[in-house]
């Protein structure tokens, strides 16, 4: 695992505190979306399709800080849109560092080289670089040539200057396991602290409805990618989440684990679906009908969803909620995640979910 000890300690003590208080619906990562404006227009993205006057709006520094305090999650992920387009982003990051929040600033890296000096290297700040594969695959996914090379250059500079850097990859239907493994080699060579992975989700608003992965295909793809991982690969995930992706185990979604705040308010129920907004985080937690979401609910919008923002919090909660979860995490951390040989037809998660 690539996560520093201080971050692990903060997260572990936070979770234990929540569990001791008997709080079932606790947030782990706040998804703070300060703007929807982006300097790319990726076909799989459902986040940027808004009228011009909405794309011009953004959360102020004060709004960001009050959302962070209201939510209380120890980790703040800042997706978008492209956060580096926000004029107050350095101040927002500084405010979060002062509050000792671990920040994942998600960026396509187009502006990173130019704006890097506006941010101080810190154990609290990680640049999480959107990289959807090797050059050809990435440029195709982001619908613009030359972006992979710019991102690689920015990563190399950021790593050299002492920033924490991770890659952040969404894999779509047709992703090639061999090429993905080569891509991991490239990221390892660049010296990223860890790699983040998620299967794509079929947003009802995304223009590309066909290229998202149904569940069984997702398990098969991730088994091929993650079977016999190389020593040099480091993932910024719980080993149990990787086992979930590869179908070794099943987890239900815990959408409250990654609550989303943006210019519309607190988004119900998760980062992906938009089933209304509340003015306060408390209202989000108390009024959302959580039982209507996740695979178990039979909600068709959740049927094939395996995204990171819905399921990693479940894996982490499982670690601290049971002895078997704790032991499995220790085993996975030391020996690596348990990934079944792709040639084996049995996918345990499918059997477990069907129970």
Binding residues for other proteins, rule: CB under 8 A, are: 41-44, 46, 49-51, 53-54, 57, 140-141, 143, 204-208, 210-211, 263-265, 274, 276-277, 283, 287
Q: Which is nearer to ligand SF4, 52 or 300 (CB)?
A: 300
- What is d(CA 98, CA 316) in angstroms, rounded to the nearest whole number? 26
- What is d(CA 87, CA 70) in angstroms, rounded to the nearest whole number? 23
- What is d(CA 302, CA 201) in angstroms, rounded to the nearest whole number? 9
Closest approach, Cβ 46 to other proteins, in A, equals: 7
Closest approach, Cβ 321 to other proteins, in A, equals: 32
Q: Which is nearer to ligand SF4, 327 or 350 (CB)?
A: 350
Q: Which is nearer to other proteins, 46 or 348 (CB)?
A: 46
- What is d(CA 306, CA 221) in angstroms, rounded to the nearest whole number? 13
**307 is in the binding site of which of other proteins, ligand SF4, none (Cβ under 5 to 8 A by kind)?**
ligand SF4
CA gyration radius, the chain? 19
**256 is in the binding site of which of other proteins, ligand SF4, none (Cβ under 5 to 8 A by kind)?**
none
**207 is in the binding site of which of other proteins, ligand SF4, none (Cβ under 5 to 8 A by kind)?**
other proteins
Burial of 20 (0-12, 13-18, 19+ CB in 10 A): exposed
- What is d(CA 248, CA 227) in angstroms, rounded to the nearest whole number? 11
**208 is in the binding site of which of other proteins, ligand SF4, none (Cβ under 5 to 8 A by kind)?**
other proteins
**49 is in the binding site of which of other proteins, ligand SF4, none (Cβ under 5 to 8 A by kind)?**
other proteins
CB 138 within 8 A of CB 147: yes
**280 is in the binding site of which of other proteins, ligand SF4, none (Cβ under 5 to 8 A by kind)?**
none
**293 is in the binding site of which of ligand SF4, other proteins, none (Cβ under 5 to 8 A by kind)?**
ligand SF4
- What is d(CA 169, CA 134) in angstroms, rounded to the nearest whole number? 11
Q: Tell me which residues in 249-268 interact with ligand SF4 (CB under 6 A).
A: 253, 255
- What is d(CA 197, CA 246) in angstroms, rounded to the nearest whole number? 12
Burial of 334 (0-12, 13-18, 19+ CB in 10 A): exposed
Closest approach, Cβ 96 to ligand SF4, in A, equals: 24
**Residue 269 in contact with ligand SF4, rule: CB under 6 A:** yes
Q: Which is nearer to ligand SF4, 15 or 272 (CB)?
A: 272
Q: Which is nearer to ligand SF4, 221 or 313 (CB)?
A: 313
**Residue 312 in contact with ligand SF4, rule: CB under 6 A:** no
Beta bridge partners of 266: 261, 278
* 352 φ/ψ angles, rounded to the nearest 5 degrees: -65, -40
CB 108 within 8 A of CB 147: yes
Helix, strand or coil, per DSSP, at residue 293 = coil
Interface positions with ligand SF4 (CB under 6 A): 253, 255, 269-270, 272-273, 293-294, 301-302, 305, 307, 309-310
């Amino acid at each position: 695992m690539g996560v520093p000890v201080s971050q692990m300690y903060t997260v572990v003590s936070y979770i234990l505190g929540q569990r001791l208080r008997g709080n079932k619906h606790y947030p782990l990562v706040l998804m703070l979306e300060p703007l929807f404006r982006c300097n790319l227009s990726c076909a799989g993205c459902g986040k940027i399709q808004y009228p011009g006057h909405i794309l011009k709006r953004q959360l102020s520094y004060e709004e960001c800080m009050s959302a962070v305090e209201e939510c209380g999650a120890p980790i703040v992920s800042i997706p978008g849109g492209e956060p580096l387009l926000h004029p107050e982003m350095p101040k927002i990051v500084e405010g979060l560092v002062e509050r000792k929040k671990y920040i994942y600033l998600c960026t396509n890296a187009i502006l990173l080289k130019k704006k890097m000096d506006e941010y101080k290297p810190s154990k609290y700040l990680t640049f999480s670089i959107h990289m959807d594969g090797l050059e050809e695959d990435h440029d195709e996914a982001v619908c613009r040539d030359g972006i992979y090379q710019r991102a690689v250059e920015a990563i190399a500079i950021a790593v050299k200057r002492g920033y924490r850097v991770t890659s952040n990859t969404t894999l779509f239907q047709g992703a090639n396991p061999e090429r993905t493994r080569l891509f991991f080699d490239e990221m390892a060579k660049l010296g990223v602290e860890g790699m983040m992975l998620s299967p794509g989700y079929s947003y009802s608003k995304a223009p590309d409805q066909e290229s998202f992965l149904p569940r069984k295909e997702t398990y098969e793809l991730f088994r091929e990618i993650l079977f016999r991982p190389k020593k040099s690969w480091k993932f910024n995930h719980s080993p149990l989440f990787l086992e979930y992706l590869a179908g070794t185990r099943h987890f239900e979604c815990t959408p409250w684990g990654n609550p989303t705040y943006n210019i519309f308010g607190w988004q119900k129920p998760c980062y992906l679906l938009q089933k209304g907004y509340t003015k306060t985080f408390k209202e989000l937690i108390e009024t959302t009908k959580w039982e209507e979401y996740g695979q178990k609910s039979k909600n068709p919008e959740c049927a094939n969803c395996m995204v990171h923002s819905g399921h990693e919090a479940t894996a982490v909660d499982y670690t601290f909620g049971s002895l078997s979860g704790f032991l499995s995490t220790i085993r996975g951390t030391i020996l690596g995640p348990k990934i079944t040989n792709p040639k084996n037809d049995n996918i345990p998660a499918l059997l477990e979910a069907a129970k």
